[in-house]
Amino acid sequence: MIHLNPAQMCTGRSGGTSRSPPPYPIRTLIKTMKIHHLLKAVVLPLAIVSASAATIRTASAAPATNAVAPSGAPYSLLSRDNTVLVLVDHQVGLFTGVRDIDTGELRHNVVALAKTAKTLGIPVIVTATMPDGMWGPTIPELTAALPGVPVISRTSINAWDDPNVRAAIEKTGRKQVLIAGVSLEVCATFPALSLKAAGYDPRVVLDASGTFSDAKRTVGLQRLAGAGIPVTDYATAGVEMLHGNDDPKAQQVYADLDMPFANLVWQLKNASGK
């Protein structure tokens, strides 16, 4: 019997003329190949499934973690002992251009927020861009609600870039910064982004801020969301810092927030003597 070398097996010829049988019967080779492919088709998927199951078991066995903000930092509720309120450019001239919220509502909300902060002992920082210039002074209702609180005049667009504003925030030693501003996408968003980069935990108060079009509002909100900066509203921020309705300051806080339904509840409570 003549055995073929590998080169000869490719042509099935020996010496170019005679044909010799292969070293193993064809049927045996076919059966061997079929078994090989069968094992490959069955064993490999089973191995993958087993590995996947092990991964799932490992993941499910891992302890649950606290919910996190998009930035990856743990999200915590506002604390009155760790919060400072920064109000940026609530100025008469800028109010005339606000279009995304009724200016009467905006005025009400920012004043209510300032009063609430004052009641809870939260530091309030007020700043204005060149109040003696084109944008005019801070709205009088706000300054009246914060007697003794100076308005920091500045020329920088980003309030955080002003050394006096920055020093005032740093002096409080607080890390949670509530910010409201006109306009939302600049005067509130710019310092919020800078504060985030500096290691603070900023939150923007949407309904105590205003801007000049719906498009600008959308831009501001998307930018804040992309940076993982939470957005809240004035009343939610107030009750978040209050924490409990059994707090001795609760009734005054609700009065400061000036929510009609809450005022009615307190009136009924007082009338009943309970």
Amino acid 128 reads A
The vertex-255 CA angle with 249 and 258, nearest 5°, equals: 140
Using alpha carbons, select from 80, 14, 131 the residue that is nearest to residue 244. 80
Q: Which of 122, 169, 187, 235 does the annotation list as catalytic?
A: 187
Burial of 125 (0-12, 13-18, 19+ CB in 10 A): buried
Amino acid 131 reads P
Q: Are the C-beta atoms of 178 and 86 separated by less than 8 Å? A: yes
The vertex-260 CA angle with 254 and 264, nearest 5°, equals: 80
Specify whether 187 is catalytic.
yes
Residues carrying an active site annotation: 187
